[in-house]
């Protein structure tokens, strides 16, 4: 019978070896024991062989899987590679598999445990170790019982991989619970990889606390009571995951529960995720912020945040310093990039007190909120973002720094009502920024922004075209101001847009730096409730009679376009155009009939010739002469 194995169908049968069988093992009659199943034949992946263990050194204690103690002897199986938890007694029919899975993990030589596509119930916590992989097959592990402890716990571990398992916590808010109740909870750990994992119905889905080098890829994290992912993590990659419907609507925690909530975390790459539809409609799906109460060495800043190609649905994004700390004491997030993200539904974006942040090509934002507390030389650059409106202010004492440090370039505004730029209400501070080439269907500024524009703390630089195509005619506002001087640059060809709604007279003075041949274009928009524009030009401007009439005697003038060319100390009018608005149409002129002419008719005709026809002819003559003079001066008139 040498080299033969004693056959046992179950672990219970192997533990019940007779004295004769034990003697046969000891004298070599049997090479070992072949086990065909754990609770019943065939319930493990394949039969395995156990061998009589040496007595010295002591191989250790019975762990229910690799080492079994039977009537004074120990039988041992040396697992190599991945080990199925069923070899240690885990089974779908067990009410609690905590101990079986834990013993499998604790076996020294085991570096990978595999979990088959079944459902396993767990009541307690399972502690992970370093250099371990948990490999599932769509396996479901359900956690019941104590809602104050996590399912999988890793404390001070390195090199842990969790792949292709489903974790269900069965969270019941009516039962005692806390935020420690997580599907995966890591503390002071590093080199963690979590892929193809589903986590739902816990207080928190995944909780990396003070961890480094974490990769969360291709996961589904939904319906967790407080947060989907929450913690402190440096060098994290969160990508290709579906993270939705996390949080709660408890009034006591309103706007405090999130889908993703990361504090004092740096070097984050958040890429190609679908995040949002949070249970709390008022919260932000993704928040990254600095927190003064959670400081720890290595976790005392927020830097290098990259948020790319994500989809945010109904809940937006917030990047912020500590909201509970006064602005001058905050540690600002540094080096933030939000690029090519799609915002749908009621999503907004909060950029709060940042340094060196860039957002670009983001689509569908409802409210783009910017609040700068301690403006640095470069705080925020927004390029080609699409939003309904921008809400912005600066709490910095140096508003001129904020003006140059916050730039909105080529912003595309999608709203058809309200204003493009608004002041954030309730935070003090005032708008201060630079706006370049906005694309808007509505007026650019609310009243506060308008006043800040006049005061010089909001700058507008635009690439307007003289044909006025596809432009918003509210881009420059002059409110309660008595004068305006174009800051002209030689050969500048972009018009100045001036909204005219002052009560008194607006005097347009000449630029201080002028060169022969320089051009200057202006578009005057009449926003006075009634009457003419009340605009005058300084003596350096040579206005045509038509322009003078449009300014002074036509109460229905709505828009005047004039182009000047500088020559020998005078800005000569080169081109003009007007738009008039009247409640009723002007009748066409009918054929003249002088057969029954009266003295009254003659008087009316003379009046019309003197007041309308002659000024019109003279104005055209003056304009033509001015152009001829300009052409001669430029060397364009042939001799």
pLDDT of 599 over the 50 cut? yes
Residues 454 and 507 in one domain: no
Tell me which residue range forms the domain holding 564: 464-587
Which regions of 53-178 does DSSP assign to beta strands (E)?
A: 67-70, 73-76, 82-84, 112-115, 119-122, 126-127, 132-143, 152-155, 158-168
495-540 pLDDT, tens digit per residue, is: 666 766 555 678 888 887 777 777 888 877 776 655 667 788 999 9
Residues 533 and 550 in one domain: yes
Chain-centroid distance of CA 579 in Å reads 43
Residues 398 and 499 in one domain: no
CB atoms within 10 A of CB 487: 9
- Tell me, yes or no, whether 476 lies in a domain: yes
- Tell me, yes or no, whether 15 lies in a domain: yes
Largest separation between any pair of C-alpha atoms in the chain: 148
Helix (H) or strand (E) holding 546: helix 545-552
Averaged pLDDT for residues 377-401: 84
Domain limit, last residue, from 50, 76, 102: 76
pLDDT of 192 over the 90 cut? yes
CB atoms within 10 A of CB 280: 20
Paired strand residues for 508: 484, 537
Q: Which two tokens stand for residue 150?
A: 């996590």
Instruction: Assign 589 a pLDDT band (cuts: 50, 70, 90).
Output: very low
Residues 447 and 489 in one domain: no
pLDDT of residue 519: 80
Please compute, for residue 564, the number of CA atoms within 13 A of its CA located in the half-sphere on the CB side: 27
DSSP string for residues in 443-505: -SB-HHHHHHHHHTSEEEE----TT-TT--TTSSEE-S-SEE-----TT--SPEEEEE--SSP
pLDDT of residue 471: 30
- Tell me, yes or no, whether 273 lies in a domain: no
Q: Which two tokens stand for residue 219?
A: 């996961």
> 578 or 393: which carries more pLDDT confidence?
393
Q: What is the mean pLDDT of the chain?
A: 84
Averaged pLDDT for residues 135-156: 96
**Can you tell me whether residue 416 is helix, strand or coil?**
coil
Highest mean pLDDT: which range of 2-11, 30-39, 172-181: 30-39
Residues 468 and 482 in one domain: yes
pLDDT of residue 93: 97
Instruction: Assign 465 a pLDDT band (cuts: 50, 70, 90).
Output: very low
Using alpha carbons only, what angle is made at residue 167 by residues 163 and 169, rounded to the nearest 5 degrees?
A: 160
pLDDT of 586 over the 80 cut? no
Q: Which two tokens stand for residue 616?
A: 């019109």
- Tell me, yes or no, whether 562 lies in a domain: yes
Which regions of 225-330 does DSSP assign to beta strands (E)?
A: 227-231, 233-239, 242-244, 258-263, 268-271, 274-276, 286-289, 303-308, 311-313, 317-320
CA distances from 377 to 216, 360, 400, 403 (A): 35, 19, 10, 10
CA distances from 102 to 111, 204, 294 (A): 13, 22, 31
Percentages helix, strand, coil for the chain, rounded to the nearest 5?
A: 15, 40, 45
- Length of the chain in terms of residues written: 639
399-425 pLDDT, tens digit per residue, is: 777 888 889 999 999 998 889 999 877
Distance CA 89, CA 39 (A): 8
Residues 6+ away with beta carbon under 8 Å from 10: 35, 36, 37, 38, 39, 40, 41
pLDDT of 388 over the 50 cut? yes
Residues 501 and 570 in one domain: yes
Q: Which two tokens stand for residue 172?
A: 């019941």
Is residue 280 within 8 A of residue 257, CB to CB? The reply is yes
Residues 477 and 524 in one domain: yes
Averaged pLDDT for residues 234-242: 98
- Tell me, yes or no, whether 312 lies in a domain: no
Distance CA 124, CA 442 (A): 59
pLDDT of residue 475: 36
Residues 6+ away with beta carbon under 8 Å from 150: 125, 180, 181, 182, 183, 184, 185, 202, 207
> 430 or 585: which carries more pLDDT confidence?
430
Nearest by Cα to 246 from 302, 289, 286, 208 = 286
Query: To 10 degrees, the CA torsion angle through 232, 236, 240, 241?
Result: -20
Distance CA 86, CA 103 (A): 11
> 547 or 390: which carries more pLDDT confidence?
390
> 282 or 603: which carries more pLDDT confidence?
282
pLDDT of 221 over the 90 cut? yes
Instruction: Assign 470 a pLDDT band (cuts: 50, 70, 90).
Output: very low
Q: Fill in the DSSP letter of residue 592.
A: P
- Give percent of the chain with pLDDT exceeding 70: 79
Residues 475 and 582 in one domain: yes
Is residue 394 within 8 A of residue 372, CB to CB? The reply is yes
Domain limit, last residue, from 76, 109, 135: 76
Paired strand residues for 430: 394
307-316 pLDDT, tens digit per residue, is: 999 999 999 9
Residues 493 and 553 in one domain: yes
**Can you tell me whether residue 236 is helix, strand or coil?**
strand
Distance CA 176, CA 502 (A): 65
Counting Cβ atoms within 10 Å, is residue 585 exposed (0-12), middle (13-18) or buried (19+)?
exposed
Residues 481 and 561 in one domain: yes
Using alpha carbons only, what angle is made at residue 267 by residues 265 and 269, rounded to the nearest 5 degrees?
A: 105
**No. of helices (H) and no. of strands (E), the chain:** 8, 49
| Interstrand relation of 541-542 and 570-580 (parallel, antiparallel or unpaired) | parallel
Distance CA 537, CA 157 (A): 76
Q: Fill in the DSSP letter of residue 60.
A: -
Distance CA 581, CA 570 (A): 31
Distance CA 374, CA 106 (A): 51
pLDDT of residue 332: 86
Nearest by Cα to 559 from 572, 567, 550 = 550
SS (H, E, C) 158-177: EEEEEEEEEEECCCCCCCCC
DSSP string for residues in 193-206: EEES-EEESSSEEE
Is residue 200 within 8 A of residue 219, CB to CB? The reply is no
Q: Mean pLDDT lowest for which of 189-198, 216-225, 503-512, 542-551? A: 503-512
Chain-centroid distance of CA 564 in Å reads 45
pLDDT of 31 over the 60 cut? yes
- Tell me, yes or no, whether 483 lies in a domain: yes
- Tell me, yes or no, whether 595 lies in a domain: no
pLDDT of residue 525: 72
- Tell me, yes or no, whether 394 lies in a domain: yes
Distance CA 371, CA 71 (A): 74
pLDDT of 588 over the 50 cut? no
**Can you tell me whether residue 620 is helix, strand or coil?**
helix
Q: How many structural domains does the chain have?
A: 3
324-360 pLDDT, tens digit per residue, is: 776 666 788 999 999 999 999 998 999 988 889 999 9
> 534 or 45: which carries more pLDDT confidence?
45
Distance CA 53, CA 33 (A): 12
> 187 or 637: which carries more pLDDT confidence?
187
Domain limit, last residue, from 14, 46, 76: 76
pLDDT of residue 455: 77
Chain-centroid distance of CA 516 in Å reads 49
Residues 473 and 576 in one domain: yes
Residues 501 and 569 in one domain: yes
> 455 or 276: which carries more pLDDT confidence?
276
CB atoms within 10 A of CB 12: 11
């Amino acid at each position: 019978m040498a080299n033969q194995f004693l056959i046992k169908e179950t672990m219970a049968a192997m533990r019940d070896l007779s004295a004769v069988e034990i003697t046969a093992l000891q004298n070599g009659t049997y090479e070992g024991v072949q086990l065909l199943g754990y609770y019943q034949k065939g319930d493990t992946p394949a039969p395995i062989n156990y061998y009589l263990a040496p007595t010295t050194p002591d191989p250790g204690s019975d762990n229910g899987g690799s080492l079994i103690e039977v009537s004074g002897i120990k039988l041992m199986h040396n697992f190599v590679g991945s080990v199925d938890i069923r070899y240690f007694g885990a089974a779908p029919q067990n009410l609690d598999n905590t101990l079986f899975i834990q013993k499998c993990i604790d076996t020294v030589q085991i570096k990978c445990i595999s979990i088959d596509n079944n459902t396993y119930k767990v009541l307690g916590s399972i502690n992970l170790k370093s250099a371990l992989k948990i490999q599932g097959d769509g396996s479901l592990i359900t956690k019941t019982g104590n809602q104050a402890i996590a399912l999988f716990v890793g404390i001070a571990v390195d090199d842990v991989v969790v792949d292709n398992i489903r974790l269900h916590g069965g969270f019941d808010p009516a039962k005692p619970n806390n935020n420690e109740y997580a599907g995966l909870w890591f503390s002071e750990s590093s080199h963690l990889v979590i892929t193809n994992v589903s986590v739902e119905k816990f207080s928190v889905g995944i909780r990396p606390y003070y961890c480094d080098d974490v990769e969360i890829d291709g996961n589904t994290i939904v319906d967790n009571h407080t947060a989907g992912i929450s913690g402190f993590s440096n060098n994290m990659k969160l990508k290709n995951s579906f993270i939705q419907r996390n949080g709660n609507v408890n009034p006591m925690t309103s706007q405090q529960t999130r889908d993703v909530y990361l504090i004092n975390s740096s070097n984050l790459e958040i890429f190609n995720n679908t995040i949002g539809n949070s249970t709390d409609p008022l919260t932000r799906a993704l928040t990254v912020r600095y927190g003064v109460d959670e400081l720890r060495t290595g976790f005392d800043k927020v830097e290098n945040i990259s948020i790319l190609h994500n989809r945010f649905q109904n809940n937006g994004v917030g990047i912020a310093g500590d909201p509970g700390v006064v602005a001058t004491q905050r540690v600002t997030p540094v080096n933030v990039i939000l690029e090519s993200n799609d915002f749908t539904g009621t999503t907004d974006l909060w950029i709060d007190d940042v340094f060196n942040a860039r957002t670009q090509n983001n689509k569908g934002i409802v409210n783009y909120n910017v609040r700068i507390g301690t403006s640095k030389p470069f705080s925020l650059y927004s390029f080609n973002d699409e939003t309904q409106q921008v809400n912005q202010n600066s709490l910095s004492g140096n508003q001129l720094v904020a003006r140059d440090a916050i730039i909105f370039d080529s912003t595309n505004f999608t709203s058809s009502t309200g204003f493009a730029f608004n002041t954030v209400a309730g935070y003090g501070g005032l708008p201060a920024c630079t706006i370049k080439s906005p694309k808007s269907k509505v007026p650019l500024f609310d009243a506060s922004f308008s006043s800040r524009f006049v005061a010089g703390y909001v700058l507008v630089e635009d690439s307007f075209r003289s044909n006025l195509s596809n432009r918003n005619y509210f881009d420059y506002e002059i409110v309660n101001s008595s004068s305006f001087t174009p800051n002209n640059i030689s050969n500048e060809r972009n018009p100045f847009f001036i909204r005219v709604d002052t009560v008194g007279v607006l005097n347009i003075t000449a630029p201080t730096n002028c060169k022969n041949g320089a051009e200057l274009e202006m578009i005057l928009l009449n926003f006075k409730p009634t009457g003419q524009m009340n605009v005058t030009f300084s003596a350096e401007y040579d206005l045509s009679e038509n322009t003078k009439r449009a300014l002074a005697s036509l109460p229905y003038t709505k828009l005047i376009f004039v182009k000047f060319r500088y020559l020998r100390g005078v800005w000569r009018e080169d081109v003009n155009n007007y738009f008039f608005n009247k409640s009723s149409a002007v009748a066409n002129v009918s054929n003249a009939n002088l057969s029954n002419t009266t003295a009254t008719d003659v008087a009316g005709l003379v009046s019309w010739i003197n007041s309308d026809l002659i000024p019109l002819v003279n104005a055209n003559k003056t304009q033509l002469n001015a152009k001829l003079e300009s052409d001669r001066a430029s060397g364009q008139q042939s001799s």
